[in-house]
Chain A
Amino acid sequence: MHNQTTTEPNAEANNQAKIRSVILSALTDICGTAEVADNLQLDLFAHGLLDSFGLVELMLTIHEQLGLEIAPTEVERETWSTPEKIIGYLEGKAR
């Protein structure tokens, strides 16, 4: 969360690419299906792919690999329901 202060466009693009790849690979692991990486609009909760436990694992990955802290009640599940929304939220937060 502190290493993104640079405003260079390149750095930001790199950063976004990193967030995207970290989240997609983490989701693939947690949900146990590659579908999440193919369909970014997939509703993870509605399809039973992500639950509280999976969410905790995702937050851990975000903490360990991206250095971002997400509190359990920070995001409503509706606003974090698809891979695309998760990535978008994190990009906004990293900025």
Chain B
Amino acid sequence: MSDLGTGTVIGLEVHVRLATVTKLFCGCPAVFGASPNSRVCPMCLGLPGALPTLNGDAVRLAVRAALALGYRVERTSEFVRKQYFYPDLPKGYQITQYAHPLARQGSLRVPDAAGGRRVPLRRLQLEEDAGKSVHDQLESSSLLDFNRCGLPLIEIVTEPVLRSPSEARAFLVRLRQVLERYARVSDCRMEEGELRADANISLVDSGGVTRAGRVEVKNLNSFAHVERALAVEERRLAARVAEGHAPGAETRLYDAEARKTRALRGKEEVLDYRYMPEPDLPPLRIDEASLRAAADGLPPAPAEVERRLIEHHGLSPQEAARIANTPGRAAYLEATVADGGLPLARTASGLVLGQLAAERKRRGLESEADLLPPAALRRLAQLRLDGRLSARTAARALELLFRLREPSPSDVDELVASRQLTQVAEPAELERWIRQALAAHPGEVERYRAGEERLLGYFMGEVMRASSGRADPRAATLLLRALLRSAEG
């Protein structure tokens, strides 16, 4: 009991529903929110004589997910029956994978303070979802809906290497990003059960010996719940260890309202799933062609994209993460800046994350690239970087460019010229705008001259207004000061 230096290890088991049109083993439509038992057939009800047939697109998406997570896809894998009795399991077994899963040994890089950490993934398997039971409508009965039964899931299991509840959450956020935005294999809507996570947590001493656990925590319906439930459980276990106990393996439920976990009553019978090869489905073979088809258009991993944005384009980690949020945005930025140098990349990144992102959202578009071709954005960013456009005229130029169809770089130049958006540093022009501004506000001029120097900003605003934003702010400020002083003398 001397060594109380403990650390936390967390493992996650994640189920993700693949975005297919039909179920995994039958042709029933895979839709959310249909009326109960309206999307069922002999196969998903387990009627006598029904047989499973494998949805090829589910396989493609599962392989694609595996590739996106760096797994080794097995050339031959196998479906098995996992057998137990429960009313949401119509056949008395779930068709899943066991000894020979679809893929092994993946990994996912999760951002952390030290610049990212590789979380090894054990296996990825393809399996069918169960039905749904409703408990709260009737006193003495439970109701069953089999619409969900047979929807395609992939199960992803991490090694137990996550070191904190917040890291567990970060892992899930990253996983969702990869599967939803990068690989696009699932919509990952947690509220609709498209991404479900179970966690297990143990406390280990400095020698890696388990001091408490392994405790499985269930009923985690959001990323926030995952983090909170694990934090609650971490504290509970630590307190038990401090009291001199060595809590063992158990399964606990998270109560989100009470922010507590509580022990799940142990099941009476011993679990023995009696796995056996599924005789209705021959072994699953993945050949070169299906690997290529699954990999088609698969972008590099977000961690890889972020690294490049930071190292090659000079973005800050925060900026890089925001740009890499979707692979489309990152690709757009990279196409825009090409090898235009760090300042150009940062300027373009600012425009993408600011005005372009806002406009894309407003219009409900998929990608910023739908607003402005990269070459046009590059020209605009270059003008801004050269000081020929001010923040304000650049914004105005973008607004005007959004109305054009696929503007070219010369369209940008033309627009800037015709709308007179270029910044003006020419003294005579500036002096005209300044005098105009000062003449309109004699009272403020008096106050400035009486020592109220903070009015300088006010005058600059008026100058910018008079110039329609074209006045070069640095040159204008210098000249404004000079003119205010000279009129004094």
Partners in one complex: no
